[in-house]
Structure 1
Amino acid sequence: MEGWKLKSGMYSRCDLCDDDIWKIFNYILSNKTTNATSYKFGFLKALLESSYDVNLNGEIKISDIFIRFSRIYWNLIVKHELTQCTKMIKGGRSSIGKIFDKYIDDYPEISTANYDKIPINIKDKMEKEVFKEGKKYVVGALYGDSGGELYTFSLRENYLKFNPSVLSFLYKHSITLLKINNLCWIDFLEKVNKKDNCYGIAEKLHDASKRSSLRIYKDFFFFQFNRCETSCFYCGNKLSYEKVHIDHFIPWSFIKNDRLWNLVASCPNCNLSKNNRLADEYYLDKIIYRDNNLKKIDNYLVNKDFSLYSEKNFRNYYTSAEFCGFDLWNFVKAKGIEIEVDLIKK
């Protein structure tokens, strides 16, 4: 049976080496696979970025992957007006583009909205339609193109489990894979779009997953958590609301998500100085201690962002970022914070 027709599938090997997995991705991204739309590239991008949202068993809901998929395509199709299909598709409009068109016709005010500014009730309905449409084609197709080795999945049960060998590989090589995937995607888009629409296309792809605002987290830390979060997580200086920066402890360019367990309140100086680098393990212990207290709070944002959190995974993500070459931030710890972390370790 052709891969895209599959409703479920199971990986058979758990002993894949890195060379085996590179061969799989080389084939997936080669010209040997058929591309009437860009969905393969979009789903692979969403899948790679979702590898940091799995539970301890390497599992994730397929619908959660398609929430990220929806954000990516909204930014590319609506914001940047990039066609995502070849002339093989009747009408020259992808099915995901048609879903967005329908909602824009019904709610014209969202046509110029950043994805996060779309009202939740509208966005939820739209994401469900994208999930319903997209899962019919890409989940089984990518599974088939991989020879059935990337993951186990069931569309009926809304379930995807990464092959453990593949998940370990992704933590080491996801940044490289994303770059290769983007290059192949750019090549596809340049063939199906007008030249004027292709300026800055690499940056458009890179930023397609970005959240437009972290204000909801800023408000949470300053007004709903505790007094510790009105001080800079790194230097300990007191913060006014206007001066709060929200920092990704593990850089966003690596982990590609905005989850409470990876966010801290920072002063502008520390946030700008840290800039896409890793704080040392001293602060890793501190944020894990913070998270262990934070996850006990009964709050919608906490419950949502911590639903798949584990300390083990967090430490693995940090180690993987080191492996991928992220520099350590050269920062001298404040004495007051040092005492605090010593107490944490006890």
Structure 2
Amino acid sequence: MDTSFDVLNKWDRSLKGNNNSYKFVLAIALLEFSKNTDLEKTNVISYDYLINIFVEFYWNHLNRYKLNHSISHEKKPLLNKIFLDLDIDENLRSSLYSISYRKLKKDHKEVVQQLLSNKKIIISILGNPISRFNFDNKGSDHKAGKGYFYEWNRKKEIIILNKDAFLTIKKENKIFTKIVQLGLASFLEKYNVQPNLIDKSKFNIKRPPFSKFINDLFKEETQLLGRYTCFYCETKLEKYDKDHFIPWEYVLEHKIWNLVAACRECNSEKSTNLPSKKSIKKLEDRNKEIFSNLKFKIHNDFDSLESLISKIDDLHTNASKAGYLPWNKYL
């Protein structure tokens, strides 16, 4: 029986040599299955399970986080091609491009059903990574074969896992997951200028709540400036939402210098869109006012106000290039 190191080494070798991200997403699906399944009872994965993981992962990457998986920005990924071919209203289609797959499943079940109904097309894409993931699968093709980690049968639409190997993977799930995340992040770095790519390489990312520190600090900053008005429409507020000026989906973190008070209407309408370039000056002026007052609390990432201003400008420029849509209603 192989040691944990043997399995880890073979896992790492199986992830090498990628000109697309399919093998990484297959690895994520295998990890999710082994983590959440009693392998003593079943070690068989259906293609339907894999399809659900692939569709969710690529939906979030391509639409929610605006990540490129190819050097060609014009070349539409398969999932987006399928999405463009769906029989839905065009206004609805455009409104869905920025929402999470979790919200899509909750509020637009008919769209999800249409996406998953393209089973034959998606299975044809799965054939390549399924056969290539096993580094020792000489003589196998996309339809059926056997390697170290599993055997597969496209006609039956199943993968049968090497139970001993995956019991090791289940036990050391965090280590195997980290290898996939680092490999995928390295792949994405070739095609994207985005922050926190390692975090974006995780499956099923959940937006964390604001910490007590952020809530208290934001309240202190708002009281300091006497600003209980919406940053965007400047309506006086009884209550306010905390909005990420540069969308959270792009920065993937809560930073006080990127948070502004907003009315519920502006926060909802802006959503994951990007305020205009002109509006950066307003954010810079706000940050300039609080920089000295709360410097050691909120600006310890920067050695000067100028470096903070440069950071925000770079984030805005790169988010725009990534495909975040402009929102110019007030600014």
Report the TM-score, using the length of structure 1 for normalisation.
0.49
TM-superposition CA deviations, 1:63-121 (whole Å, max 9, x none): 1122022111111110011011245xx95333234323444885413223321332222
Counterpart in the other structure of 2:7? 21
Taking CA–CA contacts closer than 8 Å with sequence separation of 6 or more, which of the two structures ends up with the larger relative contact order? 1
Unaligned runs of 5+ in 2: 139-146, 208-331
1:132 Cα shift?
Answer: 2.8
Counterpart in the other structure of 1:168? 167
Residue among 64, 70, 74 paired with 1:79:
64
2:159 counterpart SS class: strand
Counterpart in the other structure of 1:57? 42
Counterpart in the other structure of 1:209? 204
Mapped to 1, the partners of 2:28 and 2:137 lie a distance apart of 15
- Map 1:91-110 → 2, pairs under 5 A: 91-103=74-86, 107-108=92-93, 109-110=95-96
2:134 counterpart SS class: helix
Confirm or deny: 8 A CA contact 1:151 1:161 kept in the other structure.
yes
Confirm or deny: 8 A CA contact 2:14 2:135 kept in the other structure.
no
1:144 Cα shift?
Answer: 4.6
TM-superposition CA deviations, 1:27-59 (whole Å, max 9, x none): 1233xx2x2211111111122112124661311
| Structure-2 change in CA distance of 1:146 and 1:48 (3 Å) | farther
Counterpart in the other structure of 1:269? none
For 2:78, the aligned partner's letter is: S
Mapped to 1, the partners of 2:89 and 2:132 lie a distance apart of 31
1:137 counterpart SS class: helix
Question: What is the percent sequence identity of the aligned residues?
Answer: 21
1:170 Cα shift?
Answer: 1.1
Report the RMSD for the aligned CA atoms in angstroms: 2.8
Mapped to 1, the partners of 2:19 and 2:204 lie a distance apart of 23
Confirm or deny: 8 A CA contact 1:84 1:93 kept in the other structure.
no
1:167 Cα shift?
Answer: 1.4
Confirm or deny: 8 A CA contact 1:83 1:189 kept in the other structure.
yes
Question: Are 1:126 and 2:115 counterparts?
Answer: yes
Q: May I ask how many residue pairs the two structures share in their alignment?
A: 190
1:133 Cα shift?
Answer: 4.2
Counterpart in the other structure of 1:188? 187
- Map 1:231-270 → 2, pairs under 5 A: none
| Structure-2 change in CA distance of 1:105 and 1:47 (3 Å) | farther
Mapped to 1, the partners of 2:74 and 2:128 lie a distance apart of 19
2:66 counterpart SS class: coil
Confirm or deny: 8 A CA contact 2:29 2:53 kept in the other structure.
yes
Report the TM-score, using the length of structure 2 for normalisation.
0.51
Mapped to 1, the partners of 2:137 and 2:7 lie a distance apart of 9
Mapped to 2, the partners of 1:184 and 1:166 lie a distance apart of 20
Mapped to 2, the partners of 1:91 and 1:64 lie a distance apart of 30
1:167 counterpart SS class: helix
Unaligned runs of 5+ in 1: 1-14, 213-346
Counterpart in the other structure of 1:112? 98
State the structure with more CA Rg: 2
For 1:200, the aligned partner's letter is: N
